[in-house]
């Protein structure tokens, strides 16, 4: 498959001219899926030049025509749903059902933003100048550089491509080298839908030949990143000389508060399913659980019982409900977090060890109770199958503990008290809040964080404006 696609530049598939070959590994088996010839710096600059030359034409393409093209992309994606789900599962390790759901959510992005292309509204403001009129207009910002992570190899791509193209921008996208085939399938759908040459380009390669040329170029006016907070900080520094607009969805360390009036069974069913989806490698998943002391023991026992019943295995095997971690590095990181938890007095209720399954990078679903707030599992994003649980009694002191984090992407609470619901929404310092629900990611709502979890939003009517400039015209006739 990788040989059939490769780099996508100026509307055509081509072979990278880099000196490296990127090996893609199946994390469920620890074996090679295939190789791709990496992009060189010249490839990246050619892709950038093509995007720059395509921008005027795409910018001036009527919004309704852009919308029709995005709808055609969505139809092309629907036609290969099963094939795409298999590719996503093989590259990322997630169970097939989760991979299929991710592809379907990616289709949603193109459908939603096709509709948003028709709703880029300006406004008229009364002028103080006699016979004058003030017009507020929104125009595409220009060439966009987009960088995506490996944990959601298609929906992260769709979240960037769809709004950028809807707004009238052109794009050079660099996906994670660990999951390039999933992104290639989306670009093939762009090609089949008839997207004009140069409007969207894909380069796969190392940082030096892809990231560097894009960040240093004044041609790139906007950068969109999904990645770690560390990379986000570096990107801010690297963008300073050319003053690019940035939107970044970075790390998370979501708190989950279980009040004593919560529906415990509902909270457990939703929390376990969400926590261990994609082996916990989800930026908005619940990481640290604060449970009222009156229901603490029941919650811990219920969480451990449900976690131990998960079917861990290869993503394409029938009945698998949790797959592997993405690579050996992630496996070692999870082991370090569990070691730290034990050293700080945490009680491993279930899991806490590797699983030897077919050569893949598997770790048992893990529940750790009685953790202090300074344990790594509580204080940092664990990005793995670890549920860290502690108790609370004083609701006022709880908010200081919950908000004592640089991460502020998502936060959750379970309660049936209307007053507590409003208090939780108000008191959480977070870009997104879920009450009795973890369902935050959808095309129609803004997705993103604050503080060290990023800036800007993807999705909703807000998302498309991150790809647009606002212009004021004072017109006197």
CA distance 230 to 383: 15
Flag whether pLDDT at 1 surpasses 80: no
Q: Residues 313-339: pLDDT tens digits? A: 999 999 999 999 999 999 999 999 999
Mean of all residue pLDDT scores within the chain: 97
What is the predicted pLDDT for the residue at 207?
A: 94
Q: Residues 205-230: pLDDT tens digits? A: 999 999 999 999 999 999 999 999 99
What is the predicted pLDDT for the residue at 470?
A: 97
Name the band, by pLDDT with cuts 50, 70 and 90, for residue 394. confident
Question: Which has the minimum average pLDDT: 1-5, 127-131, 197-201, 455-459?
Answer: 1-5
Q: Kindly state the percentage of the chain with pLDDT values over 70.
A: 100
**Residues 6+ positions from 6 with CB-CB distance below 8 Å:** 13, 14, 15, 16, 36, 37, 184, 204
Alpha-carbon torsion angle 108, 114, 118, 124, nearest 10: 70
Name the band, by pLDDT with cuts 50, 70 and 90, for residue 35. very high
What is the predicted pLDDT for the residue at 268?
A: 98
Closest to 253 measured CA to CA, from 406, 393, 443, 385: 406
Q: What backbone torsions phi and psi does residue 244 show, to the nearest 5 degrees? A: -85, 150
CA distance 310 to 315: 13
Strands (E), 67-176: 123-126, 132-140, 143-147, 170-174
Over residues 5-27, the mean pLDDT reads: 96
Name the band, by pLDDT with cuts 50, 70 and 90, for residue 460. very high
CA distance 423 to 413: 10
Name the band, by pLDDT with cuts 50, 70 and 90, for residue 162. very high
Query: Which are the catalytic amino acids?
Result: 249
| Per-residue tokens: 410 | 């998502």
**Helices and strands (H, E) in the chain, number of each type:** 15, 24
Name the band, by pLDDT with cuts 50, 70 and 90, for residue 39. very high
- Sorted by where each starts, the structural domains of the chain and their CATH numbers stand as 7-250+451-465+471-475 (3.40.605.10), 254-435 (3.40.309.10)
Name the band, by pLDDT with cuts 50, 70 and 90, for residue 282. very high
What is the predicted pLDDT for the residue at 395?
A: 84
Q: Which residues sit opposite 433 in a β-bridge? A: 411
Contact 149, 176 (CB under 8 A): yes
Q: Residues 408-453: pLDDT tens digits? A: 999 999 999 999 999 999 999 999 999 999 999 999 999 999 999 9
CA distance 328 to 360: 9
Q: Kindly state the percentage of the chain with pLDDT values over 90.
A: 99
Flag whether pLDDT at 238 surpasses 80: yes
Alpha-carbon torsion angle 53, 57, 60, 63, nearest 10: -110
What is the predicted pLDDT for the residue at 4?
A: 83
Closest to 76 measured CA to CA, from 183, 160, 192: 192
| Per-residue tokens: 68 | 């029709």
What is the predicted pLDDT for the residue at 3?
A: 77
Name the band, by pLDDT with cuts 50, 70 and 90, for residue 96. very high
Closest to 5 measured CA to CA, from 144, 183, 194, 165: 183
Task: Give the β-pairing of 386-392 and 21-26.
Answer: unpaired
């Amino acid at each position: 498959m990788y040989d059939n696609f490769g780099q996508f530049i100026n509307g055509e598939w081509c072979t990278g001219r880099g000196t490296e070959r990127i090996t893609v590994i199946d994390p469920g088996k620890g074996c090679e899926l295939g190789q791709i010839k990496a992009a060189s710096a010249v490839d990246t600059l050619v892709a950038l030049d093509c995007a720059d030359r395509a921008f005027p034409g795409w910018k001036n393409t009527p919004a309704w025509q852009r919308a029709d093209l995005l709808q055609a992309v969505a139809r092309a994606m629907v036609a290969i749903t099963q094939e795409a789900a298999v590719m996503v599962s093989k590259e990322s390790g997630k169970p097939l059902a989760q991979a299929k759901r991710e592809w379907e959510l990616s289709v949603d992005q193109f459908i939603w933003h096709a509709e948003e292309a028709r709703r880029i509204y300006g406004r008229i403001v009364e002028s103080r100048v006699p016979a004058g009129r003030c017009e507020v207009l929104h125009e595409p910002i220009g060439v966009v550089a987009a960088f995506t992570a490996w944990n959601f190899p298609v929906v992260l791509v769709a979240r960037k491509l769809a709004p950028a193209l809807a707004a009238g921008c052109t794009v050079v996208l660099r996906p994670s080298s660990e999951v390039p085939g999933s992104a290639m399938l989306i670009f093939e759908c762009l090609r089949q839908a008839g997207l004009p040459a140069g409007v969207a380009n894909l380069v796969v390669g190392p940082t030096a030949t892809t990231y560097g040329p894009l960040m240093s170029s004044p041609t790139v006016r906007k950068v969109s990143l999904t990645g770690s907070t560390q990379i986000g900080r570096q990107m801010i520094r690297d963008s300073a000389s050319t003053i690019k607009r940035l939107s970044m969805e970075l790390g998370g360390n979501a708190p989950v508060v279980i009040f004593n009036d919560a529906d415990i069974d509902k909270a457990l069913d939703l929390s376990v399913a969400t926590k261990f989806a994609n082996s916990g490698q989800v930026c908005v998943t619940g990481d640290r659980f604060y449970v009222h002391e009156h229901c603490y023991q029941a919650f811990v026992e219920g969480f451990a019982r449900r976690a131990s019943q998960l079917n861990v295995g290869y993503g394409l095997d029938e009945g698998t409900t949790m797959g592997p971690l993405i690579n050996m590095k992630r496996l070692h990181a999870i082991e370090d977090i569990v070691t730290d938890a034990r050293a700080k007095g945490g009680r491993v209720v279930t899991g806490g060890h590797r699983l030897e399954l077919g050569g893949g990078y598997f770790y048992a679903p893990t529940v750790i109770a009685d953790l202090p707030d300074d344990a790594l599992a509580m204080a940092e994003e664990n990005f793995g199958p670890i549920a860290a649980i502690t108790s609370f009694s004083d609701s006022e002191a709880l908010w200081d503990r919950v908000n004592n984090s640089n991460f502020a992407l998502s936060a959750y609470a379970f309660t049936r008290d209307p007053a507590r619901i409003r208090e939780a929404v108000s008191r959480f310092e977070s870009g997104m809040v879920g009450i009795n629900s973890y369902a935050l990611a959808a095309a129609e709502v803004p997705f993103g964080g604050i503080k060290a979890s990023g800036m800007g939003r993807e999705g909703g009517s807000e998302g498309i404006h991150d790809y647009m400039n606002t212009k004021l015209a004072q017109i006197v006739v």
